[in-house]
Amino acid sequence: MGEWAAGLDAADVPRPVLDRLSLVLLDVFGVTALGAALDEQAALRTAWNAPDGPAPLIGAGRTVTVDAAAWLNAMALVSLELDEGNKYAKGHPAAHGFPAVLALAAELDATGPDTAAALLAAYEVASRFGRATSLRPGAHPHGSWGVAGAAAGCARLLGLGPEATAAAIDSGAGLPIAGHFSSATDGNPVRDAWMGASNMSGLVAVRMAAAGLARNTGTAGGSLGDLLGGFDAAELTDGLGDRWDITRGYFKRHASCSFTHPAADAVLPLRAGLDPSRISRILVETHALGAGLGSPEWDNRLSAMFSTPFAVATALLDGEVGPRASDAARRGDPALRDLARRVRLVAADDLTARLPAERAARVTIELDDGTQHTRQQPIPVGDADPDQLTEPDVIRMLKAWLPGRAALVDRAAAVARDLPALRRAGGALRGLADDTAEKEPS
Q: Is the pLDDT of residue 87 over 70?
A: yes
State residue 437's pLDDT score.
61
- The C-alpha atoms of residue 173 and residue 180 are separated, in whole angstroms, by 18
For CA atoms 190, 44, 82, 97, the dihedral sign is negative
Closest to 361 measured CA to CA, from 344, 342, 386, 341: 344
pLDDT in tens, 315-369: 999 999 999 999 999 999 999 999 999 999 999 999 999 998 899 999 999 999 9
Closest to 186 measured CA to CA, from 138, 135, 258, 134: 138
Secondary structure string (H, E, C) spanning 215-278? CCCCCHHHHHHHHCEEECHHHHCCCCCCCCHHHHCECCCCCCCHHHHHHHHHHHHHCCCCCHHH
Q: Are 276 and 316 in contact (CB under 8 A)?
A: yes
Residue type, 24: V
pLDDT > 90: what percent of the chain?
A: 95
- DSSP letter assigned to residue 296: S
pLDDT in tens, 271-311: 988 999 999 999 999 999 999 999 999 999 999 999 999 99
- The C-alpha atoms of residue 224 and residue 136 are separated, in whole angstroms, by 10
Burial of 272 (0-12, 13-18, 19+ CB in 10 A): exposed
Q: Are 162 and 106 in contact (CB under 8 A)?
A: no
The secondary structure of the chain in percent helix, strand, coil, rounded to multiples of 5, reads 55, 10, 35
State residue 440's pLDDT score.
40
Residue 441 CB coordination number (10 Å): 4
Residue 118 CB coordination number (10 Å): 29
Q: Is the pLDDT of residue 206 over 50?
A: yes
Q: What is the mean pLDDT of residues 155-173?
A: 98
Q: Tell me if the bond preceding 386 is cis, omega within 30° of 0.
A: yes
Q: Is the pLDDT of residue 59 over 80?
A: yes
From residue 175, alpha-carbon distances to 64, 147, 202, 398 in Å are 24, 7, 8, 33
Q: What is the mean pLDDT of residues 420-429?
A: 98
Q: What is the mean pLDDT of residues 93-108?
A: 98
- The C-alpha atoms of residue 374 and residue 383 are separated, in whole angstroms, by 22
State residue 254's pLDDT score.
97
Q: What angle do CA 146, 151, 154 make, to 5 degrees?
A: 130
pLDDT in tens, 2-53: 999 999 999 999 999 999 999 999 999 999 999 999 999 999 999 999 999 9
Closest to 257 measured CA to CA, from 166, 187, 194, 351: 187
Q: Which domains does the chain have, with CATH numbers?
A: 2-252+388-433 (1.10.4100.10), 258-377 (3.30.1330.120)
- The C-alpha atoms of residue 285 and residue 293 are separated, in whole angstroms, by 12
State residue 439's pLDDT score.
45
Mark 165-179 as b/e (b = at least 16 C-beta within 10 Å).
Answer: bbbbbbbbbbbbbeb
For CA atoms 412, 37, 71, 128, the dihedral sign is negative
Residue 293 CB coordination number (10 Å): 24
- The C-alpha atoms of residue 420 and residue 48 are separated, in whole angstroms, by 33
Q: Tell me if the bond preceding 162 is cis, omega within 30° of 0.
A: no
State residue 273's pLDDT score.
85
